Chains A and B, each alone.
Chain A
Amino acid sequence: MSLFGWFGKALRVNLNTGDIKEEEIEKKLLTAWLGGRGLGTHMVYCEVPADGNPLGVENKLVFATGPLTGTSFPGSGRFSVSAKSPLTGTIFDSNAGGTWGVRLKSCGFDLLIIEGASATPVFLSIRDGVASLEEAGELWGKDVLETNQALTSKLGKAVSVACIGPAGENQVKFAAIMNDGHRALGRGGLGAVMGAKKLKAIAVSGNKKVAVADSDKMDLVVYEANKWVKANPITSKGLPEFGTPVLVHLFNELGVFPTCNFQGSQFAGAGKISGEAIAETIYSGRKGCYRCPVQCSRMIKIGNFTMAGPEYESLWALGPECGIDDLEVIAKANHLCNLLGLDTISTGVTIGCAMELEERELLKTGLKFGDAVGLLQVIKQIAKREGVGELLAEGSRRLADNCGCPQYGMQVKGLELPAYDPRGMQGMGLGFATSNRGACHLRAYMVGPEALGVPKMVDRFSTGGKAGLTITQQNINAAVDSLSICRFINLAVSEEYFARALSAATGVNYQPQDLHRIGERIWNLEKLYNLRAGVDSSFDTLPPRLLKEPIAEGPSLGRTVELEPMLAEYYRFRGWDEAGIPTPKKLQELELGEYSC
């Protein structure tokens, strides 16, 4: 099979038997689902029982690159991992940048499927396409940086490592898979799935080049795309200079910057933790992913120690969400999460939930809002499941449920909310409620139209038209995730360029509208899986606080999320019935008739 953009090959590793085999991927699957999230969703739908235990042997981890991975297209250094999530019980994909995805593809594989579970700790080595499972008893218990160092010492600096830390080993429900040291496939607890399989790490290196069908056309599209990246102040100035913490002031001034488990929506200490504050105090340099002209990652220095700086979401979750405004403490907490392999958002929001439960005398943990020492201490306890950490390691939904107060868990479908108060951004609220993987800002990324004016600014308080806009965004973002392109490139470069680059890379003609349709198919397939898993429309909601308690101050004063009318419109617009189930007609229209819920 002669392919461009893709290699058309998967590597399947069975940890029960130790069998490793190469498989061909049918071209029709690649052209239909592209790669990344799309192909991962398809594989999980077909191979992972929806009613299975996410931490059981029946779950699988699908690592996937995209057709643009390894090409010259800007922001094409990402990859994704899909599985059934132990945190949400839904189908779940998480993606990260760095170099790991590019290295996997340069081994000649579009997909890596991990199935079964090993009896003892192992790591997987894939070098120049040759794979082997190796004993990892000595790595078990090591943190993420130690694991990286051990494997690069053993296998050479050319390898890129994806691994779990102690949190993954202990099957913390929001454990991350970490790659290239500090990059995180953070959300959804996929690190716990890896831990349950006793797979400590995957080290990859390779030299295969991706064949591009029309390199002249690709060069032209890349040149034009880079022009926009360089011209747009978000990608040419804001993100390179301040990283994602550039968003702190913006959202604080809009009055949608949650504090203390979403009890407040503006943070008095925002100036102490903003992108500007980082630049003026602890910033030590920039770092970027493969082929990235933006280079938004921060390196910071505290004392003599250099570490990866916190992203906007992490900064918020470990800071204002817990009532903390000490930048160094937040940076240390972020570093600790990276070492232990914890999702920073879920960690911070779960701790914030525990702090509110303590405040209300519903749980005895000793954790109080603003308690910096307690924050650092409890992060370690969570990763080790020690003391109060055992309770918190299950996430905010189970924590609040166990205390008999589910309303204080700031989560949707079990996934903790990120750093935006949707009461002041109605589309964001609808996006959180309807997201197939729970409260995720990236599925619809309404930050674009409701705060950054991308593609155009809309009234953030209005519910009118938000259903259609949310759906359009969800669909196109599903396709972008399947190309495995960074979302920040999408802030400057429209999907037209993605379609042209995809056509040039693969030799298959794609129009922008095709990307929307592919995204819609992915969204519907995810929904079908979730319905099979018992995650129905009753989960398409928000924490009661966001629906009933108006914001008490600031520019979003008096707002709640008016979810009900938007949700009804959303289902109609999707072509689903009133119970939020895709109709046979819609499935037929999307050529998903063979799939069912």
Chain B
Amino acid sequence: MLTDFKRIGRDLFLSGLNSSHSGNLSVRYGDKIVITRRGSMLGHLEERDLIETGLTKNDSKIILASTEIGVHRAIYQGTSALAVVHAHPVHAIALSLLEDQILPIDSEGAYLLHKIPVIGAEHTIGSKELENSLPGLLSEYKIVMVRGHGSFAVGQMIEEAYQWTSSLEQVCRIICLTRSLQGELKDGRSAKFTDW
């Protein structure tokens, strides 16, 4: 398990999807969660950075768990996910500040993600609001953006949740680049996913 966490954590950091100490990863097995330690560096994970605690029940390990432990737990309880990746992809965050949903305009993005909902919350870190709203959306979508904060992606394995995160940022970079070119889009395929 440590190998997977180290590999994905390192990739998330090196590809700019997280800053030095941001983001968190978790996997579920049975009634337990393994989640990254609060304040750990995803690019340099060690054994002490993986914290095992309860899916529904706190134990003493909770004091070392990621600040987003409540949201991860809520997602596991409200979806069939077995892995969650939370990242801070910069282009996606920028777009989330302007949009209520992100519609991929490139073919791969549209093929993989179709639509990425954007939700806002008064408190965005360790947030009860997000514990309530994210599981429902992540039952329907692979990845959701929290406005001005970051993405939460689910998968059956951690690599899968990482893929959606990486794809989202790719999608958003393409949108930002296209907008900066200020031309007229020749392909309007994204519009059909508005109500996806």
Contact = CB atoms under 8 A, between A and B. Distances in A.
A238 B39 CA distance: 16
Interface stretch (B3-11, B119-127, B139-147, B152-160): B119-127
Interface in A129-188: none
A453 B59 CA distance: 18
B115 interface: no
Contacts of A231: 67, 123, 125-127
Contact of B60 (A276, A454, A455, A457): A276
A123 B60 CA distance: 42
Interface string B45-71: 000100000000011111111110110
B64 to A, nearest CB: 7
Given A227-B123, A227-B125, A457-B48, A233 B60 contact: no
Contacts of A227: 123, 125
A237 interface: yes
B102 to A, nearest CB: 26
Given A230-B123, A230-B126, A232-B67, A237 B39 contact: no
A457 B64 CA distance: 11
Nearest to A491: B63
Contacts of A249: 59-61
A453 B123 contact: no
A230 B70 CA distance: 11
A457 B37 contact: yes
Nearest to B37: A453
Given A227-B125, A457-B48, A232 B38 contact: yes
A239 B58 CA distance: 11
Given A231-B67, A452-B63, A238 B58 contact: yes
A274 B60 contact: yes
B125 A453 contact: no
A250 B39 contact: no
Contacts of B69: 233, 237
A578 to B, nearest CB: 37
A313 interface: no
A11 interface: no
Interface stretch (A240-248, A348-356, A392-400): A240-248
Given A241-B58, A457-B39, A452 B64 contact: yes
Contacts of A250: 60-61, 63-64
B139 to A, nearest CB: 24
A227 B38 CA distance: 16
Contacts of B61: 249-250
A275 interface: yes
A454 B37 CA distance: 11
A369 to B, nearest CB: 25
Contact of A233 (B40, B48, B62, B123): B62
A274 B58 CA distance: 13
A542 interface: no
Interface in B113-134: 123, 125-128
Given A241-B58, A456-B39, A233 B63 contact: yes
A157 to B, nearest CB: 35
Contacts of A237: 58, 62-63, 69-70
Interface string B75-88: 00000000000000
Contacts of A454: 39
Contacts of B62: 233, 237-238, 241, 246
A242 B60 contact: yes
Contacts of A274: 60
Interface of B: 37-40, 48, 58-67, 69-70, 123, 125-128
Given A227-B125, A237-B70, A250-B64, 11 more contacts: A230-B126, A230-B128, A231-B123, A231-B127, A233-B64, A237-B63, A237-B69, A238-B63, A249-B61, A250-B60, A453-B37
What are the nearest 4 A-B pairs in CB distance?
A231-B126, A238-B63, A249-B60, A234-B63
